Amino acid sequence: GIMKGQWQLYARFYKSPTWSSRSINTMTTGDTCFVLCEDVAAPSHVTFQNSKRAALAQDPNAKIPARPPHYKTTSLTLSPPSLLSLLFQQIGGGNVWSNRMPGALPDTEINGAVFQIGEDVILRVGRVVQKSQPRGLVIEAEFVPLPRAPTPGQDPRLLQELITAVAPTNSDVKAVSLTDDQWSEILTVPGQQTPPATTDDSDDLFTWPNKEGEADSQLEWMGPEREKRSAFLLLKLLVTEGTQR
């Protein structure tokens, strides 16, 4: 393959002493910072929608469940990354968020390169480093003619076999993916298919204004959308691997 450039990402994981169930994880690449806010005590967007449909199915005149102040997952994209400090000021109130709190994973760097194989395949290979110690290798494969991620009904073996072929021998290779419900939870437009909010709780940490009229491009893996999906997928991978150690 031909080396096309560097692949560098920097992840940080923030916790607060006020809310043990909440976390803010960030992945910075270039001039963009992808932010994933999670509250494991809050309902997911999918869970809330299912409960609303179930209530209406039993009784069309039933009172629709009130929308929660925030959902389990909220994603944001900031550019430039320096806006993160402003975000903490806006949504954190007087509370302290730190990447050195107990329970927060260590800062993580992914350093590597981007390779192009022929006209159709782009590989991103990076070494994962925490506290100056190597923790593993991340390989991301992109099949350029395929502008959308494989759905559950499609066969993803082409990319899986490609990654297996280029991975170091005798290594523990793990293929990572998210379900449609998980992608929907991360990428859903706030306020989409939900009853209008009757109050604006500006003190709620993870409350964020609705973005009306945004295009639904949740399946696209091109341009900025690919970078967003890649960043959130890597964050999920690092959090999962970190909590299992």
Strands (E), the chain: 2-15, 22-29, 32-39, 73-78, 108-117, 121-130, 133-143
80: preceding bond cis by omega (within 30 degrees): yes
The DSSP H or E segment spanning 91 is helix 83-92
Label residue 112 by pLDDT band (50, 70, 90): very high
| Burial of residue 24 (number of CB atoms within 10 Å: 0-12, 13-18, 19+) | buried
SS3 154: coil
Distance, first Cα to last Cα, the chain: 34
Q: Given this model, what pLDDT does residue 80 score? A: 93
Q: Which of 209, 206, 210, 211 shows the shortest CA–CA distance to 69?
A: 206
Mean pLDDT calculated for residue range 131-137: 88
pLDDT over 90 (residue 241)? no
Supply the DSSP symbol for 69: S
In angstroms, how far is CA 235 from the centroid of its own chain?
Answer: 6
What is the distance between the alpha carbons of residues 172 and 65, in angstroms, rounded to a whole number? 45
In angstroms, how far is CA 116 from the centroid of its own chain?
Answer: 25
- Geometric angle at alpha carbon 213, from 207 and 218, rounded to 5°: 80
Reported as a single tens digit per residue, the pLDDT across 202-222 is 445 455 444 433 444 444 556
Reported as a single tens digit per residue, the pLDDT across 2-36 is 999 999 999 999 988 888 888 899 999 999 999 99
Label residue 194 by pLDDT band (50, 70, 90): very low
Q: Given this model, what pLDDT does residue 214 score? A: 40
Candidate ranges 34-38, 69-73, 109-113, 147-151; pick with highest mean pLDDT: 109-113
pLDDT over 60 (residue 181)? yes
Task: Tell me the pTM.
Answer: 0.74
* Lowest-pLDDT choice from 71-80, 91-100, 133-142: 91-100
pLDDT over 70 (residue 153)? no
The pLDDT mean for the chain works out to: 76
